């Protein structure tokens, strides 16, 4: 088993001033190993993207890290100086944001945007950076890269803009790539092409990838391991095979049941999880999922379950699955 490249432990993030702050991440534990793809899954509001932004130290001004650690290799991201962060971001670790049309600068040519990290981190001349940018565009499958390098983002399709984002993120050959909903708003064919591209780059570069998604189909296609998040915590962690074959947490089961399959073609409605993800200002006590959980117990609204190892490749935070339940009930 390869060594960890990113280790997040008990990460806590809050919004608002200290006296009236609202906790959005409530003790996140995530480990990513060299060369593997980790899927992070959950509904909107579960804390997936916020975890990624905290790991990159790109939180909005209203948010702050209040506890825990984020270790990239042996460096704690939570205590790095601005200069130290600038040396890492875009160089050894990169991020693809949800919307390439808003993440890309609309008034800069795409080639200049890809060349920028090459000039900053690799010290390339303008000519060398342009040549390398053309190679990058070609490597991510953009046709006629010599011409496309001078396009503005609005002159490209959504799939091509996503490829530009990948080219820019991988320009400096990072060791870790965080991809936040990289296939959102793309049609099924383009989604498959983007996932194939990420998988190819993972193998080619021995790249560690965190892919953030709400789509279990994406997870099945590309991930080696999966973390399921709810209410600002990881509630289940498993190898991708174990998660699909032996799903444990009631929330994970609900998400999987709501994933469309061929067998569901004749059904008029997909199964759904009742209720909604709670707002951070209205987070319930105990297990955050208990108001929506079909297997809730008296313990669930009083105590927060810890991630407990239940198999070699699987951990779950659920009182209905816990061997400690009888002791605390």
SS3 call for 27: strand
Task: Give the pLDDT of residue 203.
Answer: 94
Strands 93-96 and 308-311: unpaired
What is the pLDDT of the chain when averaged over all its residues? 91
pLDDT-derived band at 326 (thresholds 50, 70, 90) equals very low
Choose among 209, 222, 212, 198: nearest CA to 176. Answer: 209
H and E: helices and strands count for the chain? 12, 12
Question: Is the model's pLDDT at 69 over the cut of 70?
Answer: yes
The CATH architecture to which 4-92+174-328 belongs is 3-Layer(aba) Sandwich (3.40)
pLDDT-derived band at 112 (thresholds 50, 70, 90) equals very high
Mean pLDDT of 282-303: 94
Question: Is the model's pLDDT at 76 over the cut of 50?
Answer: yes
Mean pLDDT of 192-203: 93
The structural domains of the chain, with segments of one domain joined by +, span: 4-92+174-328, 102-173
Please list, in sequence order, all residues whose beta carbon lies within 8 angstroms of the beta carbon of residue 127, skipping any fewer than 6 positions away: none
pLDDT-derived band at 328 (thresholds 50, 70, 90) equals very low
Strands 75-76 and 225-230: unpaired
Question: Is the model's pLDDT at 325 over the cut of 70?
Answer: no
- For residues 125 and 132, the answer to whether their CB atoms sit within 8 Å is no
Mean pLDDT of 73-100: 91
Angle between helices 110-122 and 158-170 (to 10 degrees): 10
Task: Give the pLDDT of residue 327.
Answer: 41
Q: What are phi and psi of 320, to 5 degrees?
A: -70, -15
């Amino acid at each position: 088993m390869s060594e960890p490249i990113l280790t997040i432990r008990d990460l806590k993030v809050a919004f608002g001033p200290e006296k009236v702050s609202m906790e959005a991440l409530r003790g996140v534990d995530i480990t990513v190993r060299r060369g593997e793809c980790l899927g992070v899954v959950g509904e909107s509001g579960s804390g997936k993207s916020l975890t990624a932004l905290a790991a990159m130290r790109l939180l909005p001004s209203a948010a702050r890290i209040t506890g825990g650690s984020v270790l990239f290799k042996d460096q704690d991201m939570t205590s790095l100086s601005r200069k130290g962060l600038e040396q890492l971001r875009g160089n050894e670790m990169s991020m693809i944001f949800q919307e390439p049309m808003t993440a890309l600068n609309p008034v800069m040519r795409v080639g200049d945007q890809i060349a920028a990290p090459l000039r900053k981190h690799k010290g390339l001349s303008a000519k060398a950076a342009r040549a390398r940018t053309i190679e990058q565009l070609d490597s991510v499958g953009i046709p006629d890269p010599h011409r496309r390098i001078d396009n503005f983002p609005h002159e490209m399709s959504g799939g091509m803009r996503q490829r530009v984002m990948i080219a820019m993120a991988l320009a400096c050959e990072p060791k870790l790539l965080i991809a936040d909903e990289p296939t959102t708003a793309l049609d099924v064919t383009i989604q498959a092409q983007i996932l194939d591209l990420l998988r190819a780059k993972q193998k080619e570069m021995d790249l560690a990838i965190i892919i953030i998604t709400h789509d279990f189909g994406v997870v099945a296609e590309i991930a080696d391991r999966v973390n399921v998040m709810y209410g600002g915590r990881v509630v289940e962690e498993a190898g991708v095979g174990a998660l699909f074959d032996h799903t444990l947490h009631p929330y994970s089961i609900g998400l999987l049941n709501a994933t469309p399959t061929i067998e569901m073609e004749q059904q008029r409605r997909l199964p759904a999880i009742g209720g909604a993800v709670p707002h951070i200002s209205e987070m319930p006590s105990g297990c955050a999922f208990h108001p929506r959980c079909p297997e809730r117990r008296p313990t669930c609204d009083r105590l927060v379950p810890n991630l407990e190892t239940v198999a070699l490749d699987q951990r779950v935070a659920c009182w209905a699955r816990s061997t400690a339940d009888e002791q605390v009930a």
